[in-house]
């Protein structure tokens, strides 16, 4: 691309991210980018720009050879995949903010780029305005990483902050997260941990050189959190944060999981409040570093898209250095143990989870809560049953790594 002329952008979607980008480009007049065409789905929907700014046929935009690059910012992941895949088949430069699309289709998206020479960047897909993908991909390209974990969903973190800091109710806090434009069209994705899972899959590919299918990642959320759980956390001054984490065990196996977790003041993630995200990247030599910033909202996410637009227009593409370097991508550590709190009305879940070391069993009316130890494999297997039962599960600390090591040491000692 000629860097001296105005580059024309074809934009798909004009929701929170699309409008955020459009607004930034309208304010930053010196930037050499212009949104030339905006493609949306529903002609009847009221929009903040006059109707003549929109087109409704995405094929027209895909076929428009005058466009220099495409930005995909629609919420339907499968429709987004159809658009992005077609654009990559045409060898185009594409920026997306759609985490579900990337998480579910990364191997195909890599193959399309390889075959047809197009480029896909997706910084906005993980942790909103925090430049975490390029940090992990470029800065940490040669240092082995031990763990990447953090708060990857702004809406659920906003809700938890409202509950813990302002004593608000869950429903009121969720409504606010929706009104502020943080939540997904289907907020279940936010509160149930699915959105965090998608982001964790993407981070894992860059951090550990392994593309994991979202189906292989156990995810649990705050959708069934109640006052009893909040009180339990407060007893020792902790709060609850939704933690997405991937780490390598001493045997080189991977532990990816999304689990609400008790977090106390000594934890790096304790200070991450409201719609902010926080990602701790733990290098084998550099140690842990916290990256904190706004994880949701039109402007922070639009700014991440803008950064990709600049990079892609200069010819940047992800090298996927760890993916290419890794001959044997790590297997999942299905035997890895985590210490959890479970509250439910269904005692069968204790069996389904294979919970051991049961402690502190409490009963209240129809429900019970219990502390115990569970393996990653059982969490993966029992996750649908737990969701169906409306049960709430959380880790006793966000430090899954050392909790696991401590447990296995105890086991070795005992045998």
Residue-level length of the chain? 415
Between CA 51 and CA 46 the distance in angstroms is 9
* Active-site residue flag, 325: no
Does residue 296 interact with ligand HSE by CB under 6 A? yes
Does residue 161 interact with ligand HSE by CB under 6 A? no
Q: How does 22-46 read in b/e, with b if 16+ C-beta sit within 10 Å?
A: bebbeeeeeeebebbbbbbeeeeee
Supply the minimum distance, in Å, between the C-beta of residue 260 and ligand HSE. Answer: 15
Q: Which residue minimizes CB distance to ligand HSE?
A: 155
Give all strands (DSSP E) within 249-355, no chain letters. Answer: 254-263, 276-283, 287-294, 337-344
Q: Segment 111-140, which members bind ligand HSE (CB under 6 A)?
A: 128
Does residue 190 interact with ligand HSE by CB under 6 A? yes
Supply the minimum distance, in Å, between the C-beta of residue 99 and ligand HSE. Answer: 6
Between CA 114 and CA 324 the distance in angstroms is 12
Closest by Cα among 22, 20, 61, 69 to 41: 61
Supply the minimum distance, in Å, between the C-beta of residue 125 and ligand HSE. Answer: 7
Supply the minimum distance, in Å, between the C-beta of residue 128 and ligand HSE. Answer: 5
Cβ-contact 28, 42 below 8 angstroms? no
Does residue 191 interact with ligand HSE by CB under 6 A? no
Stretch that binds ligand HSE, among 59-67, 152-160, 219-227, 351-359 (CB under 6 A): 152-160
CB atoms within 10 A of CB 289: 14
Does residue 274 interact with ligand HSE by CB under 6 A? no
Q: What one-character DSSP code corresponds to residue 251? A: T
Stretch that binds ligand HSE, among 31-39, 67-75, 148-156, 357-365 (CB under 6 A): 148-156
User: Hey, is 244 helix, strand or coil?
Assistant: strand
Cβ-contact 128, 302 below 8 angstroms? no
Q: Segment 4-23, which members bind ligand HSE (CB under 6 A)?
A: none
Cβ-contact 17, 305 below 8 angstroms? yes
Comparison of 100 and 105: residue with beta carbon closer to ligand HSE: 100
Supply the minimum distance, in Å, between the C-beta of residue 339 and ligand HSE. Answer: 27
Stretch that binds ligand HSE, among 77-85, 149-157, 219-227, 279-287 (CB under 6 A): 149-157
Does residue 160 interact with ligand HSE by CB under 6 A? no
Closest by Cα among 167, 147, 126, 110 to 296: 126
CB atoms within 10 A of CB 48: 9
Cβ-contact 82, 106 below 8 angstroms? no
Cβ-contact 148, 245 below 8 angstroms? yes
Q: Segment 166-185, which members bind ligand HSE (CB under 6 A)?
A: 182-184
Q: Which of 123, 195, 308, 399 binds ligand HSE (CB under 6 A)?
A: 195
Supply the minimum distance, in Å, between the C-beta of residue 189 and ligand HSE. Answer: 7
Does residue 154 interact with ligand HSE by CB under 6 A? yes
Does residue 148 interact with ligand HSE by CB under 6 A? no
199, 241, 292, 322: the active-site residue: 199
Does residue 257 interact with ligand HSE by CB under 6 A? no
User: Hey, is 247 helix, strand or coil?
Assistant: strand
Catalytic residue ranges = 199
User: Which residues sit at the interface with ligand HSE, rule CB under 6 A?
Assistant: 128, 153-155, 182-184, 190, 195, 295-296, 301
């Amino acid at each position: 691309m000629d860097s001296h002329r105005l580059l024309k952008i074809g934009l798909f979607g004009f929701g929170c991210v699309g409008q955020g980008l459009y607004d930034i480009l309208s304010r930053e007049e010196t930037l050499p980018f212009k949104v030339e065409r905006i493609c949306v789905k529903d002609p009847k929907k009221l929009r903040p720009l006059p109707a003549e700014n929109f087109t409704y046929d995405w094929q027209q935009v895909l076929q428009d050879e005058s466009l220099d690059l495409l930005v995909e910012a629609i919420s339907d992941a499968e429709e987004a995949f159809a658009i992005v895949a077609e654009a990559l088949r045409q060898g185009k430069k594409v920026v997306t903010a759609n985490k579900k699309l990337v998480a579910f289709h990364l191997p195909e998206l890599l193959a399309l780029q390889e075959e047809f020479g197009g480029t896909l960047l997706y910084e906005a897909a993980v942790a909103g305005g925090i430049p975490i993908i390029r940090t992990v991909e470029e800065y940490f390209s040669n240092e082995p990483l031990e763990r990447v974990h953090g708060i990857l969903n702004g809406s659920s973190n906003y809700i938890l902050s409202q509950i813990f800091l302002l004593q608000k109710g869950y429903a009121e806090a969720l409504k606010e997260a929706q009104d502020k434009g943080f939540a997904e069209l289907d907020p279940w994705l936010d509160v149930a941990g699915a959105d965090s899972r998608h982001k964790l899959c993407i981070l894992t590919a860059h951090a550990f050189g392994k593309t994991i299918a979202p189906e292989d990642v156990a995810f649990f959320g705050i959708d069934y959190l109640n006052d009893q759980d909040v009180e339990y956390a407060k007893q020792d001054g902790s709060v609850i944060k939704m933690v997405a984490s991937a780490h390598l065990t001493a045997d080189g196996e991977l532990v990816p999981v999304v689990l609400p977790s008790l977090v106390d003041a000594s934890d790096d993630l304790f200070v991450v409040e409201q719609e902010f995200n926080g990602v701790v990247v733990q290098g084998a030599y550099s140690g842990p570093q916290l990256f904190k910033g706004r994880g949701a909202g039109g402007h922070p996410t639009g700014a991440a898209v803008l950064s990709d637009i600049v990079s892609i227009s200069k010819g940047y593409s992800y090298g996927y250095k760890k993916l290419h370097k890794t001959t044997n991508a790590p297997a999942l550590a299905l035997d890895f143990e985590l210490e959890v709190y479970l509250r439910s009305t269904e005692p069968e879940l204790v069996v389904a989870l294979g919970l051991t070391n049961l402690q502190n069993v409490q009963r209240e009316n129809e429900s019970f809560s219990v502390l115990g130890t569970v393996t990653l494999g059982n969490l993966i297997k029992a996750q649908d049953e737990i969701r169906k039962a409306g049960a709430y599960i959380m880790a006793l600390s966000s430090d899954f790594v050392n909790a696991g090591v401590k447990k296995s040491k105890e086991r070795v000692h005992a045998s």
